[in-house]
Amino acid sequence: MKIFEQLLEDYVVDKDITPQALHDKIGAGLVYWADLDLQSLEIDVEPTNNDRINMTAAMQNLLTVLSQLILEDSLTGLFNRRYFKRALKSEMERNVREHRPVGLAVIDIDHFKRINDTWGHNVGDEVLKAVTMIMNRNVRQSDTLIRIGGEEFAVVMPNIRYQAAGDAMERLRADIANSIIPVDSDELRTSVSIGIAVREPNQIIHADELYKQADQALYQAKETGRNKVVLYGPPASTGLSSSEREALL
């Protein structure tokens, strides 16, 4: 907790917040300072001081802890929404340079509020962790799985075509729907709704627009019955013929 006391003293404007509250806010992705550049932190230690090595190691540990708190979700161990914005933008820029497609899936656990209201928030947390484990075993190593808030997740999928993205998320959806989550002496089942958008190589759209498209597809999935996968836009919108699309899958 000394780390957070020091942060309050040196960096945080709101001095009324407690160290524990600061820890919780950072863990939830609610950061109190504006884009703190951790790499710019320096230690004023004489080069001949034997404590320099220890101080350097302590600073490296501090930076590691802060990076985890700022960019990772403490419950699931996934990256959080703050990281999501950077990851999606970076991946889209890279795929533009390499002339490759990139997909984005937005995943929402169906009726999650009902789970919390019926079973309690502790069980809700267990459901989030169980769903995270199922998603982890269904995404590719090259994909980035992120908890963007509450019961909502995202998967950034580099170099993936329209139908392949749909097939991958359909497998994930089915795995979750068919899984049993043990709750004390009982068993619980849940499902997810998934919206997908794909930026093809010949399309020029920004990260925010791709996210809006995936979110619109998610909304459609939820409005038409939940426990389903919806892709934004027809494959024909990519400008490729059916045979070309099949050859690229």
Report the DSSP beta bridge partners of residue 195. Answer: 106, 230
Question: Is 200 strand, coil or helix?
Answer: coil
For residue 34, report the phi and psi dihedrals to the nearest 5 degrees. -90, 105
Report the DSSP beta bridge partners of residue 144. Answer: 156
DSSP characters over 34-80: S---GGG------TT-THHHHHHHHHHHHHHHHHHHHHB-TTT-SB-
| Catalytic residue of the set 72, 91, 151, 200 | 151
**CA 125 → CA 75, 76, 154, 201, distances in Å?**
8, 9, 18, 39
Locate tokens 């389903």: which residue? 228
Q: Identify whether 200 is a catalytic site residue.
A: no
**CA separation for the pair 145, 50 (Å, rounded):** 42
For residue 72, report the phi and psi dihedrals to the nearest 5 degrees. -115, 150
Sequence-ordered strand ranges (E) for 134-191: 144-149, 152-158, 181-183, 186-188
Taking the CA atoms of residue 41, residue 45, residue 49 and residue 54 in that order, the dihedral angle to the nearest 10 degrees is -30
Question: Is 145 strand, coil or helix?
Answer: strand
User: What amino acid positions are annotated as catalytic residues?
Assistant: 151
